[in-house]
Amino acid sequence: MMRSLFVSHGAPNLVLHNSAARDFLARYAEALPRPKAIVVASAHFEAPGPVVSAASAPRMIYDFRGFEPELYEITYSAPGDPALARDCAERLAEAGFAPRLVERGFDHGTWVPLSLLWPAADIPVVTMSVDPGSDAATHVAMGAALAPLTEEGVLVVGSGSLTHNLMEFFRGGYRPDSPAPEWVKAFGAWVHETISAGALDDLVAWRTKAPYGPENHPTPEHLLPLFVALGAAGAGATTERVHSSHSHGILQMDAYAFG
């Protein structure tokens, strides 16, 4: 059975510059069994209801601007898996969702972490949306619908960011080496303590239960992949924080393995 993962993917140029988070992603796959395929729920694939990409040869999506020119030359040529995409959609439908199949490429929430984890791009990848209009419990249920796939060697990855307040980033003049402010550290510590305690009810109520919840996530799309990964591990899953660091002060770059 594959453990599911939540990774913080940071800015697109994570792939270009040395950092603790980049170093972690570049070596972590060595500690994992090789997946048969990967399903990624990306913070940058937003849609009402679950949408699954059945593209057989996903294109690159450079969904950012103002970064280094070489980022726009990066390609991640992993194949898609239309059969797995249909399987995901069927399982989501059986769980009461109304999934849609589309053909969509790899946004940077997918290709940034995967290009570091599996740079050979030789494992099939299917991408799935998150829905900022739905709550965390809904995303746990989305992940739970896919949990049987982990027993078949499919790795479910939630790709987002443990904290993500870009308005504060641009307003605050944070540098790559800026220390994390207290409101970021407090939120990261609460998530770790709550996940470790298995307090799922508190976790899904993060916006009101967590210290500085809205300050760290004015919009929820970068935290919702955490709940997909958690749900995919199944009931009673064990939890391990496999990485913790921060970038540019306000981006907590933690990663978790579930199962």
CATH of the domain at 92: 3.40.830.10
Confidence of residue 94 (pLDDT cuts 50, 70, 90): very high
Give me the number of domains the chain comprises: 1
User: Per residue in 205-239, pLDDT tens?
Assistant: 999 999 999 999 999 999 999 999 999 999 888 99
Residue 242 confidence (pLDDT): 98
Over residues 66-79, the mean pLDDT reads 96
Over residues 48-58, the mean pLDDT reads 97
Residue 4 confidence (pLDDT): 98
How many Å apart are CA 251 and CA 259, to the nearest integer?
A: 25
> Mean pLDDT across the chain, nearest whole number?
95
pTM: 0.96
| Tokens describing residue 44 | 């940058």
Burial of 115 (0-12, 13-18, 19+ CB in 10 A): buried
The residues that bridge with 124 in the sheet, in sequence order, are none
Nearest to 169, CA basis, from 180, 160, 158: 180
- Distance of CA 194 to CAs 9, 53, 62, 189, Å? 22, 32, 35, 9
Nearest to 130, CA basis, from 224, 11, 198: 224
Confidence of residue 170 (pLDDT cuts 50, 70, 90): low
Supply the angle between the helices 20-28 and 108-117 in degrees, to the nearest 10: 70
Residue 172 confidence (pLDDT): 61
The upper half-sphere exposure of residue 95, i.e. CA atoms within 13 Å in the direction of its Cβ, equals 23
| Tokens describing residue 118 | 């599996």
How many Å apart are CA 207 and CA 63, to the nearest integer?
A: 27
Residue 228 is part of which domain span? 4-258
How many helices and strands, by DSSP H and E, does the chain display? 10, 10
Over residues 112-132, the mean pLDDT reads 98
Max distance between CA atoms of the chain, in angstroms, equals: 47
Least confident of 33-47, 89-103, 112-126, 242-256: 242-256
User: Per residue in 133-157, pLDDT tens?
Assistant: 999 999 999 999 999 999 999 999 9
Residue 169 confidence (pLDDT): 66
Percent of the chain with pLDDT over 70: 98
Contact assessment for residue 110 and residue 5, using Cβ atoms and an 8 Å cutoff: no
3-class secondary-structure state, position 140 = helix
The residues that bridge with 239 in the sheet, in sequence order, are 258
| Tokens describing residue 171 | 């307003």
Residue 40 confidence (pLDDT): 98
Confidence of residue 183 (pLDDT cuts 50, 70, 90): very high
- Distance of CA 205 to CAs 122, 142, 202, 257, Å? 38, 17, 5, 21
| Tokens describing residue 69 | 């020119």
Residue 233 confidence (pLDDT): 97
Residue 157 confidence (pLDDT): 98
- Distance of CA 189 to CAs 162, 163, 178, 233, 244, Å? 11, 11, 18, 22, 10
User: Per residue in 244-258, pLDDT tens?
Assistant: 999 887 899 999 999
pLDDT at residue 24 above 80? yes
